[in-house]
Amino acid sequence: MRRRTSIRLTLLLLPALALTLAAYACAGGGQSTGQARHLASFTWTAPAAQDATWFGGFSGIEVQDNGRRLVVLSDRATLARARITREAGLITAAHITKRRRLRASTGNLLQGRVVDSEGLVRAPDGSLYISFEGVSRIAHHKNGSSRAKVLPRPQAFRQLPLNKSLEALAMDDRGRLYTLPENAPDQNDEIPVWRWDGARWSQPFSLPRRNGFMPVGADFGPDGRFYLLERKFMLIGFRSRLRRWDITDVGAMQEITLFETALGTHDNLEGVSVWRDEAGALRATMISDDNFSALQRTELVEYSLPD
């Protein structure tokens, strides 16, 4: 994310520690634990084009067409579509097919402090919902080039701390949106979850915070369960965790930690999309935010998930 100044400065000022981190991962320190199984990690590099400075900072992802297409969102308000090549089910190439800069409700391209786009949802009708952090809000776009329609902003959104707010966004099978902040716990020191039912916002439940991990991405899988991707920054690298819940009328139930990685296993994973492959198995595809830093990388990381 653009606001990750501290992360970027740390990585720039500590190249020796970054090398130590790489050695640590190669020595086997990067094993993950939990019920999910790591399938592969693919490093996605900028397209060979005259202007590729836009590429990077990805914080949102939606997988389509049995893993053959992606929609990705950067935190500089760029939306891109990509075609995926696979061998034996694993990603071998990713090619950008289209990209667009997001527009404000006025029709102008987003700029300034309202740019920081984070969460991405592709609705069944193909339209897009996007959460923003700089000015906490959810915007609806009919397509990647349309002007935004900003959903009503409740008072709770207006009170969120700058650059620690609406990281994650997901939609359930009833078309309801769920969003939650990265680091703005409620009075019980839990993660507040807000829900938009098409007419109003409510705060139906909260999720437990555990071990210093912070929410960065969310999705509802084809199994109907809620998945939360979390990240923990530890000076020289990142740890990642994926948890899931059954969402019921009384709140989030049956919490399961699907994986929790050691330091340096992956880069700065921020976006997650849960889908079924051609064999019908659940997968989670995640994308990393490289903070536009030469010491980081854009990764597409995939895990198989238990049903």
pLDDT in tens, 43-87: 999 988 667 899 999 999 999 999 999 999 999 999 999 999 999
Query: Could you tell me if 57 and 65 are in contact, meaning their C-beta atoms sit under 8 angstroms apart?
Result: no
Does CATH place domain 5-305 in 2.115.10? yes
What confidence score (pLDDT) does residue 113 get? 80
What confidence score (pLDDT) does residue 74 get? 97
CA distance 37 to 70: 21
Query: Could you tell me if 58 and 74 are in contact, meaning their C-beta atoms sit under 8 angstroms apart?
Result: yes
CA distance 11 to 18: 7
CA 59 to chain centre: 5
What confidence score (pLDDT) does residue 2 get? 45
Using left for φ > 0, alpha for ψ between -120 and 50, and beta otherwise, residue 223 falls in alpha
CA atoms within 13 A on the CB side of 278: 8
Query: Could you tell me if 152 and 137 are in contact, meaning their C-beta atoms sit under 8 angstroms apart?
Result: no
What confidence score (pLDDT) does residue 305 get? 98
Cα pseudo-dihedral 253, 153, 117, 261, rounded to 10? -20
**Parts of the chain with a pLDDT under 70:** 1-33, 49-50
CA-based end-to-end distance of the chain: 32
CA distance 242 to 217: 9
CA distance 184 to 60: 20
